[in-house]
Amino acid sequence: MVSNFTSRVIQEADHIRERHAQWMDQYRREYKDDTEKDSRFGIFKSNVEYIDFINNAGRKLYKLNLNWFADVTNEEFKKTYMAYRSPKMLTLMLLRLSGAWTFPAVDTVEGITKIKECQFYSTGVFTGQCGDSLDHGVTVLGYVMDNGKLKYWIIKKSWGSSWGEDGYMRLQKDIADKKGLCGIVYYPVI
């Protein structure tokens, strides 16, 4: 006779395998053999558990979700996608975003840090903990004041529209640290 605990563990494992299969279909992910598939499934499972833990750990203004990085370790992610590139010249323009006039810098390269939460960012204003070491570039489009309470940067990533909010992220602005959240204002290129 199988215990209730064992039965629940088997059901959870089946559910994760089903999510992995759906994720593979959605992102057209294929593996060279069963060994790689099993290894990547283990990473996927760990990342699902992490995402669920963060999303369920108290009240946050942001959510994490599965994306095309879901079968990649944080170390692989940082090594592959978080490499700093040389700054580009910028063009300033006036842009109206969410009812607020902003003066964004197009193709501005700003610093953002090596944090797993940014790997799986999905929606909302990111207010999580992160360092300020420069490791890759983003395009800062400007900032918005939400109902006169919370100011946030609007940044664009180069990882495609399946990441974040259609390829964009909202990052809390005007925090106590002069470098800004994730070091966003520490290395400005203007």
Q: What is the pLDDT of residues 127-156, one digit of tens each?
A: 987 766 656 677 888 888 877 778 898 988
Res 89: pLDDT: 29
Q: H or E stretch including 141?
A: strand 137-146
Provide the token pair at 76: 């692989």
| pLDDT band, very low/low/confident/very high, at 122 (cuts 50, 70, 90) | very high
Cα radius of gyration (the chain): 19
Residue 27 contacts residue 44 (beta carbons within 8 Å):
no
Q: Is the pTM of this model over 0.85?
A: no
Closest to 24 in 3D by CA, of 66, 65, 77: 66
Res 1: pLDDT: 53
